[in-house]
Amino acid sequence: MKRNLKLLILILTLFSFLQSCKKGKENWYCPMHPTYTSDRAGQCPICNMNLVKKEKIENSTSKSDTHSHHENETTENKNSKTEDTLYLPEEKQRLIGIKTAKVEILNLSKKILAYSTVAYDPELYTAILEYREAKKATQLLADESSSSSNSLLNSSTVRLKQLGLSESQILEWGNGNRNPEELILGSKNWRAYIYSSIYESDIGYIKKGLKVNLKMDSFPDKTYTGTIQSVDSILDEKNRTLRFRSYVLDRDNTLKPQMFGNIEISIPLKKALSIPKSALLNTGKHKLAYKKVSNEEFTPVFVKTGMETDDFYEVLDGLKEGEEIVVESNFLLDSESKIKLGGSSNEHSH
């Protein structure tokens, strides 16, 4: 009796072992991360997707063999995509917040903010008065061809240019068309004189005649509009900035000397093939974007950029008009790509 019982236990143990071995042959894997496999059903520890049984794929492949030759060619074409192509199910795209946008030709513009003050410039005020006196003296002594008076007028003109006035402004102040008291007393005749400073890198964008919008700390809900009148010719060596001057409309004469504010200037650039700045990942050596090649497939591409605005990059190479690129959660897509393809984004081959 005991012998039969031992034999039964041995048989059951052997059966359990054989079942375990059989189960171990069942290969489960993650469709997002095929390199991860398991001997049982469950979830991928990388992306939490349900594991897929290899037998199902094999069965599915066997069934697909009965399809038409055209369908087989379609499958071969799909499998022939670049090895960098990343498969990402639509459900997973929604989960991580993937959003895309088209590569478009846009009218690009650049906004510049410049720290500004209402003018208080006794030095320029004095220089304008000296210029007027020198001009009067030259006119009075014109018949006598006085070289000294001409020399004084020339030096006064150079001084005004050194202080940032253009030729037209020198004529305007020198002919008495403007009252220089506004340089020390504030707004006059519904206009105020504003001094602003821009960094050296933005100098090329600032030109006489550009429209400006002034916001003052003292009146945050009010916007003063005007135009740039002149740009200085000498850079401030300490902070690497250049000063420019604007007139703004001030009907209530509310602006007082040395009030602080900021001028905003919108600079029209040009029409260019453009993408949102959020679409690019900076790898250190390259700028990388993810192009959508199908509903569930993406491929990384290196992009060469040109002009940069607050929101967009000009595209010089790497993308074409109408192509669709990832503009949100692309860093998560890049992480998925590194896990699936291995290595770093820098190593993608194109």
Query: Does residue 9 lie within any of the structural domains?
Result: no
Q: Which residue among 138, 153, 185 closes a domain?
A: 185
Dihedral angle sign, alpha carbons of residues 166, 171, 177, 179 = positive
Same domain, 102 and 126: no
Alpha carbon separation from 298 to 159, 291, 341 (Å, rounded):
63, 5, 12
Query: Does residue 163 lie within any of the structural domains?
Result: yes
Percent of the chain with pLDDT over 90: 37
pLDDT at 195: 95
pLDDT at 143: 55
What is the band of 135 on the pLDDT scale with cuts at 50, 70, 90? confident
The alpha helices in the chain, defined as continuous H runs, are: 2-24, 54-64, 69-79, 90-96, 122-140, 147-162, 167-174, 182-185, 330-341
Same domain, 333 and 274: yes
pLDDT at 269: 87
Same domain, 41 and 96: no
What is the band of 72 on the pLDDT scale with cuts at 50, 70, 90? very low
Same domain, 292 and 325: yes
Task: To the nearest 10°, report the CA torsion of 25, 31, 34, 37.
Answer: -30
- Give exposure, 150-184, as e/b (b: 16+ Cβ within 10 Å): eebbeebbebbbebbbbeebbeebbeeebebebbe
Query: Does residue 241 lie within any of the structural domains?
Result: no
pLDDT per position as a tens digit, 98-123: 999 999 999 999 899 999 999 999 99
d(CA 335, CA 312): 24
Average pLDDT over residues 315-321: 95
Report how many domains make up the chain: 3
Query: Does residue 325 lie within any of the structural domains?
Result: yes
Q: Which residue among 167, 185, 203 closes a domain?
A: 185
Average pLDDT over residues 250-256: 90
Ramachandran class of 209: left when φ > 0, alpha when ψ lies in -120 to 50, beta otherwise: left
Query: Does residue 135 lie within any of the structural domains?
Result: yes
What is the band of 176 on the pLDDT scale with cuts at 50, 70, 90? confident
pLDDT per position as a tens digit, 9-60: 555 455 444 454 444 455 776 766 666 677 777 777 766 677 777 654 344 4
Query: Does residue 147 lie within any of the structural domains?
Result: yes
Contact 206, 226 (CB under 8 A): no
Q: Residue 222 pLDDT more than 60?
A: yes
Residues 6+ apart with CB under 8 A from 6: none
- The helix-helix angle for 167-174 and 147-162 (nearest 10°) equals 120
pLDDT at 71: 45
Query: Does residue 47 lie within any of the structural domains?
Result: yes
Nearest partner of 55 among 75, 73, 28, 74, judged by Cα = 28
Same domain, 48 and 90: no
Same domain, 275 and 334: yes
pLDDT at 242: 93
The domain spanning residue 288 has which CATH number?
2.40.420.20
Q: Which residue among 157, 185, 213 closes a domain?
A: 185
Query: Does residue 192 lie within any of the structural domains?
Result: no
What domain range is 144 assigned to?
Answer: 121-185
